[in-house]
């Protein structure tokens, strides 16, 4: 069964994005687990058992994060859908975040 982690970097500050609430959801939107980024911008454990093959989404509360900094943003949330195709693999979903843009890739 697969494990999952995430990392959020604030592209404006050039630093880890600390305190970002992150949810793991099923393809249908059911919340399966959650976490908050640590001082290094990482969620190492979503509090869920290993993931079976299937489709999932990671949802980042980007609007709340920028609100704590007093920064307006265009994206109140960022949702990244992904597919677990190898139940034995580790999946890492990173996010490079700014108030008016974001990018992601399959991490390791």
pLDDT tens digits, one per residue of 13-44 = 999 999 999 999 999 999 999 999 999 999 99
pTM reported for the whole predicted model: 0.95
pLDDT per position as a tens digit, 50-97: 999 999 999 999 999 999 999 999 999 999 999 999 988 999 999 999
Supply the pLDDT for residue 69: 96
Residue 49 has pLDDT above 80, yes or no: yes
Length of the chain, please? 108
**Dist CA 60 CA 20 (whole Å):** 7
Pairing between strand 90-98 and 3-10?
A: parallel
Q: What domains does the chain contain, in order, with CATH numbers?
A: 3-104 (2.60.40.180)
């Amino acid at each position: 069964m697969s494990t999952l982690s995430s990392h959020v970097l604030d592209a404006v500050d050039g630093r880890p994005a600390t305190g970002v609430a992150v949810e793991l959801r099923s393809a249908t939107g059911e919340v399966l687990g959650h976490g908050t980024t640590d001082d290094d911008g990482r969620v190492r454990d979503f509090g869920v058992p290993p993931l079976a093959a299937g489709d999932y989404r990671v949802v980042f509360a980007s609007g709340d994060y920028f609100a704590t900094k007093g920064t307006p943003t265009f994206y109140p949330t960022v949702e990244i859908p992904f597919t677990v195709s190898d139940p034995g693999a580790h999946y890492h979903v990173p996010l490079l975040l700014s108030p008016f843009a974001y990018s992601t890739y399959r991490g390791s």
